[in-house]
Chains A and B, each alone.
Chain A
């Protein structure tokens, strides 16, 4: 019953990780997003008279926080599921191994794509969304594969891992035509740039914290509930 156990332990890990991440986010990251939104220029309204369809958005601060919490939990659950699967596929787990896996995942999911596509605050100019998402996926997959080759292959092949890690940056992330902010007021641009620098710092810390908690808890729980599970032991060896 690997699936059920991995799902349950990923839920437990996600509850703890999303609580830690959300606390940091609510105090240090969200205020920067809200401050940047004040400078966001409204989208031009269609002038041909077609009625604008209002899409749903959270109506107030409490509702918005609730959906952010929910999204944080689901994202932590997804990350924890992926990490637990990789760890169990690879072999036995422990808290220490979990931390190492978590840090490798932090490099793959945050640091490497962040080098090409730095974390953004609202109001920034950016390249086409689809292109950026495709590059993000490519970068995450190649970095994770590269780190895996680097960690687990014989010495002779470790260079291949390094090539995989560098490859997405040679392909280069899609860049915006205008770099930075298109706000007409230079004072606002200076303020937004300052907010952006703080945002990069705090989102890096928040994500390191997220992966540290996911790695530690997933490693510990996999060790406790999968490595020494009598069901698995009996079904494999009896």
Chain B
């Protein structure tokens, strides 16, 4: 069974068809790139998959079950997690707390336990557990020295990394990255590519990547989907995409 499958997915805003007839299948441990010119509907598609928008037609299946109509936080529980094009960190929280928020849905102690912290109770166990997990996760991303820094004080590249780490903390099966290389210099982009490789080696997760940076997409994705005006115009390996005339037309004009 495919991890993620969409069937005829589409959304219409007023008279504008932003995404239509979108069909995609992503299996376990795949890295799929999604590219397209500005305004092609890439981020809209992410918003459809993560429950921010309700599709006007079609269906989204995660491991065979429809997630249409679920709230974004419920879709996180199903195993989809995302980052944002313009970084959205909890700026006035520490780096560690940013990650800890993402463990929220895995924890279960209640309000009474919060107020009466009896030794040996669930509160201490769960908090110690996520403290350890959070630090380990940040250490994997080489941010162990930043755990107590405010997120807003991190350099740009590390903010991107933290956002990805936070998304991974929800323990997703599919990670959706929305233009992670936006605003990065070539050096930072290179580091990002290494980070993505690293995630693939160390986490059991598939990745769907939106990107403008062609070298990044062509360099790391096994499969690429190209969309324009909300519909898929090409699918295939990087080599096939490079030669596809429709793609060249969409990007360079005819």
Partners in one complex: no
B residues at A contact (CB < 8 Å) = none
A residues at B contact (CB < 8 Å) = none
